[in-house]
Amino acid sequence: MAIRNIVKEGDPVLRKVCRSVLQFDEKLATLLDDMKETMYRAEGVGLAAPQVGILRRVCVVDVGDGLIELINPVIEAMEGEQEGAEGCLSCPGESGIVKRANKVTVRAQDRFGNTFTVVGEGLKARAFQHEIDHLDGIIYKDRVIKMVR
Ligand code: NI
């Protein structure tokens, strides 16, 4: 495993729409392992592949109850609303208030290509929405109500 460099805001790679993963191979496994290590080292709760310069639909989330690897994730259902502070490893030292759904159901594939569904509420729902946005070139500042100090 290796720590990868986290791309910072302003890099055009963060504005691209990522392509689906079609090959569930060793290269994908290495990417996921590296993303996990990079996220934990940076003390983040989520990381998306474009943040390490890879334009594929891959992200990792861990809000404190275990790692979730999402490949080709799709939000299938959204419920309720939450408003809260959000930051991004690509925008260090900043945060802003963003309105998100309070509960989301995500369908995705695991590193072997198996499809699964995961439900997130609160912080986990926020992380899912934030990371899946990255796969479409969207950063939280596009949705921010106001930045906070
Ligand atoms: Ni982010």
How far apart are alpha carbons 98 and 126 in whole angstroms?
A: 9
- β 58-61/46-48 pair status: antiparallel
Cα 88 to averaged position of ligand 1 atoms, centre (Å): 4
Cα 124 to averaged position of ligand 1 atoms, centre (Å): 13
Q: Are 24 and 111 in contact (CB under 8 A)?
A: yes
Q: Any idea which residues carry the catalytic annotation? A: 131
> Is the per-residue pLDDT at 1 higher than 90?
no
Report the amino acid identity of residue 32.
L
> Is the per-residue pLDDT at 149 higher than 90?
no
Q: pLDDT at position 36, please?
A: 98
Q: What count of other Cβ atoms lies within 10 Å of the Cβ of residue 89? A: 19
pLDDT tens sequence across 40-91: 999 999 999 999 999 999 999 999 999 999 999 999 999 999 999 999 999 9
pLDDT band for position 29 (cuts 50, 70, 90): very high
The maximal CA–CA distance of the chain, rounded, in angstroms, is 42
pLDDT tens sequence across 12-21: 999 999 999 9
Cα 50 to averaged position of ligand 1 atoms, centre (Å): 10
The pTM score is: 0.97
pLDDT tens sequence across 92-125: 999 999 999 999 999 999 999 999 999 999 999 9
How far apart are alpha carbons 97 and 49 in whole angstroms?
A: 24
Cα 117 to averaged position of ligand 1 atoms, centre (Å): 22
Q: What count of other Cβ atoms lies within 10 Å of the Cβ of residue 5? A: 9
